[in-house]
């Protein structure tokens, strides 16, 4: 495909600051061509044709997966690189102990040296995009400059990308600047730098989604969290779902889980048959990121800033997430999955009778070489293809939240569900939540770490200040969402999961909605209000005596040790930690030891 097939005017924008920045980047990176992207179908088809021609993508079985493609990453470029991700603020303490820090001067110097001449022989794509509905006052815009056609194609699915976004940028005059190059895909020359006070991002050396799709974690969380603090809102690593009762009332819930802990499954939950027969429905607003701010009525209103799903493939099946499987049957980009003999995507846990022929490297599958699909293999697809997609996803004012849920992988101690006493206690629950690590990030898997609000890799400033920002919302309104903690991953004495999860998580959501409405009971404990087994609808579940006892158990001694550990963790933030959280942690610890 001729590089000039996508040619556009060299100055298609009326915004001087945008035009000048693009010219500066072009002078630095020296591409062979500059392409301003308009987000059109014709443009997308040309991009795909180009990638098919150069081997960057491979077309999948058109009969089973029409309009779908496979991309294989470099084997050393398959996950987020948290240890190479920096927040560049003038003062180290403003980045906090939760981030790797570099001064802005050093960060720019290091990155600009890498970017110098890096796009020779390549096309430089200019991608204007909007995070959130184009006409939403909660939405924010950005421009990503990249030399990866794969990134452009994914950004078209994941954001509102193109002409309409450019119009809003020109109208508002401000945007987040994102500069990306795949570079040489050398792990030794791979860095991601965030400059929150400049609203800019520089990413070099990776083509992997979380490192290269700069609208996603880089903008929508690290930069947006900084924006949100200054502007009085919250940018969070949360799914958003709507729960419609048989009476036709819909409650919206936001939930924070670390990556690969079931967020997409919960966002697309299908209630058990007995619930569906009664009229319960679940609507998907978003599966990964939530921006929320107080409305005029004091409630928090939330939008999903993304337009698509960048989901983890392994474990996704018609049993675990039928809505996700229905969503990805067409017009989907798969990354690092395996292939069957008839050119269909395959991964561990997909179910059915198909088997892998080629692994994610493109080799004939041999179990001795490891799993067929990479454990962090992905699918990228428009959210509008999801059967449970909520029309309220396009509501420019967002949806009102009834509850916020925190959770992670905890094989012991943490019960199935409990409720915070108030907003301050809810912030402590979120601030201290822990989870076993997964394959979504580089490093060891299965290690328990504190992951506040599931934002450990994503908060763009000091966690102590972040906790204070959360607490500040209680000063603005007394109509905030109720806060809960769930744990789908409790294990029994034999090491197996005690709770069936997936669609049966509806039973926990029902109790939460009933609590919000004042229609369910619970027992007060130092850690919060816990249901008893009879408070949840467990009809039809084959739970053992051990499972029932363990899932609803409150282990006072175990929690006393947990709160000692929480206290040690909070010490990391020193004087930046809000005194209210320290006092509350100590008060609960005393109750547990009393």
Does the structure show a pLDDT above 50 at 402?
yes
| H or E, element range at 34 | strand 33-36
Catalytic residue status for 261: yes
Per the annotation, does 146 bind a ligand? no
Q: What is the model's pLDDT at position 261? A: 83
Per the annotation, does 340 bind a ligand? no
- pLDDT by residue (tens digit) across 447-495? 788 999 999 999 999 999 999 999 999 998 989 999 999 999 999 999 9
Please answer whether residues 402 and 460 qualify as being in contact, where contact means their C-beta atoms are separated by less than 8 angstroms: no
Q: Sign of dihedral through CA atoms 497, 502, 503, 509?
A: positive
| Percent of the chain whose pLDDT exceeds 70 | 96
Q: What angle do CA 285, 291, 292 make, to 5 degrees?
A: 100
Per the annotation, does 558 bind a ligand? no
Per the annotation, does 230 bind a ligand? no
Per the annotation, does 465 bind a ligand? no
Mean pLDDT of 285-291: 97
Does the structure show a pLDDT above 90 at 260?
no
pLDDT band at 444 (very low <50, low <70, confident <90, very high): low
Q: Write down how long the chain is.
A: 594
Whole-number Å distance between alpha carbons of 25 and 30: 8
Whole-number Å distance between alpha carbons of 145 and 168: 18
Does the structure show a pLDDT above 60 at 5?
no
Whole-number Å distance between alpha carbons of 497 and 475: 40
Per the annotation, does 263 bind a ligand? yes
| H or E, element range at 284 | strand 281-286
pLDDT band at 4 (very low <50, low <70, confident <90, very high): very low
Per the annotation, does 494 bind a ligand? no
Q: What is the model's pLDDT at position 10? A: 52
Per the annotation, does 16 bind a ligand? no
On average, the pLDDT of the chain sits at 95
Ramachandran assignment for 443, one of left (phi > 0), alpha (psi -120 to 50 degrees), beta (any other): left
Non-local CB neighbours of 302 within 8 Å, separated by 6+ positions: 240, 252, 254, 285, 290, 291, 292, 398, 399, 400, 401
Please tell me which residue in 88, 261, 386, 459 is annotated as part of the active site: 261
Class of domain 3-57+79-231: alpha beta
Q: Across the strands, what pairs with 248?
A: none
Please answer whether residues 494 and 487 qualify as being in contact, where contact means their C-beta atoms are separated by less than 8 angstroms: no
Per the annotation, does 323 bind a ligand? no
The lowest-confidence range among 101-105, 222-226, 260-264, 540-544 is: 260-264
Does the structure show a pLDDT above 70 at 8?
no
Return the CATH number of 235-279+289-305+390-593, one of 3.90.228.20, 3.40.50.1100, 2.10.109.10, 3.65.10.10: 3.90.228.20
- pLDDT by residue (tens digit) across 121-179? 999 999 999 999 999 999 999 999 999 999 999 999 999 999 999 999 999 999 999 99
Does the structure show a pLDDT above 50 at 246?
yes
Per the annotation, does 539 bind a ligand? no
Q: Where are the domains of the chain?
A: 3-57+79-231, 235-279+289-305+390-593
Q: pTM of whole model > 0.85? A: yes
Please answer whether residues 65 and 344 qualify as being in contact, where contact means their C-beta atoms are separated by less than 8 angstroms: yes
Non-local CB neighbours of 21 within 8 Å, separated by 6+ positions: 143, 177
Residue 452 half-sphere exposure toward CB, CA atoms < 13 A = 26
């Amino acid at each position: 495909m001729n590089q000039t097939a996508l040619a556009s005017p060299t100055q298609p924008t009326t915004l001087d600051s945008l035009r000048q920045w693009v010219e500066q980047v072009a002078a630095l990176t020296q591409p062979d061509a500059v392409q301003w992207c308009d987000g059109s179908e014709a443009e997308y088809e040309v991009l795909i044709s180009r990638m098919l021609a150069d081997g960057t993508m491979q077309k999948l079985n058109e009969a089973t997966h029409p309009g779908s493609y496979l991309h294989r990453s470099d084997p050393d470029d398959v996950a987020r690189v948290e240890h190479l991700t920096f927040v560049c603020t003038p003062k180290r303490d403003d980045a906090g102990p939760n981030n790797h820090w570099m001064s802005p001067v050093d960060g720019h110097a290091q990155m600009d040296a890498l970017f110098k001449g890096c796009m020779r022989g390549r096309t430089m794509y200019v991608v204007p995009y909007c995070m959130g509905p184009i006409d939403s006052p909660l939405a924010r815009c950005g421009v990503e400059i990249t030399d990866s056609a794969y990134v452009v194609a994914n950004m078209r699915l994941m954001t509102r990308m193109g002409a309409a976004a450019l119009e809003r940028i020109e109208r508002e005059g401000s945007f987040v600047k994102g500069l990306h190059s795949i570079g040489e895909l050398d792990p030794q020359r791979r860095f991601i730098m965030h400059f929150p006070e400049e609203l800019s991002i520089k990413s070099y050396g990776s083509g992997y989604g979380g490192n290269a799709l700069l609208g996603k974690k880089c903008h929508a969380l690290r930069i947006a969290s900084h924006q949100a603090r200054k502007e009085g809102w919250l940018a969070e690593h949360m799914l958003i779902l709507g729960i419609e009762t048989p009476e036709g009332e819909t409650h919206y819930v936001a939930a924070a889980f670390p990556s690969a802990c079931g967020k997409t499954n919960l966002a697309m939950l299908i209630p058990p048959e007995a619930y569906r027969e009664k009229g319960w429905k679940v609507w998907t607003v978003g599966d990964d990121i939530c921006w929320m701010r107080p409305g005029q009525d004091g409630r928090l209103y939330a939008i999903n800033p993304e337009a698509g799903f960048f989901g983890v493939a392994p474990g996704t099946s018609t049993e675990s997430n039928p809505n996700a499987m229905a969503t990805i049957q067409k017009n989907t980009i798969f990354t690092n999955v395996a292939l069957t003999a008839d050119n269909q995507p395959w991964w561990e846990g997909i179910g059915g009778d198909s088997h892998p022929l080629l692994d994610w490297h493109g080799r004939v599958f041999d179990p001795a070489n490891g799993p067929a699909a990479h454990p962090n293999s992905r699918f990228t697809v428009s959210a509008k293809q999801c059967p449970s997609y909520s029309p309220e996803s396009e509501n420019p004012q967002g949806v009102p939240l009834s509850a916020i849920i925190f959770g992670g992988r905890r094989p012991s101690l943490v019960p199935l569900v409990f409720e915070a006493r108030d907003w301050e206690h809810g912030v402590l629950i979120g601030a201290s939540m822990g989870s076993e690590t997964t394959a979504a990030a580089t490093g060891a898997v299965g290690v328990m770490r504190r992951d506040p609000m599931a934002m450990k890799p994503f908060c763009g400033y000091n966690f102590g200040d972040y906790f204070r920002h959360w607490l500040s919302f209680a000063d603005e309104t007394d109509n905030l969402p109720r806060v809960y903690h769930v744990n789908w991953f409790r294990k029994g004495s034999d090491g197996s999961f005690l709770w069936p999860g997936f669609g049966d998580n509806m039973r926990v959501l029902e109790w939460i909605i009933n609590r919000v409405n004042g229609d369910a009971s619970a027992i007060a404990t130092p850690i919060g209000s816990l249901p008893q087994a009879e408070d949840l609808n467990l009809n039809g579940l084959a739970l053992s005596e051990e499972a029932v006892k363990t899932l609803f158990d409150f282990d006072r001694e175990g929690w006393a040790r947990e709160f000692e550990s929480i206290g040690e963790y909070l010490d990391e933030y020193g004087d930046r930690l809000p005194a209210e959280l320290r006092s509350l942690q100590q008060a609960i610890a005393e109750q547990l030891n009393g």
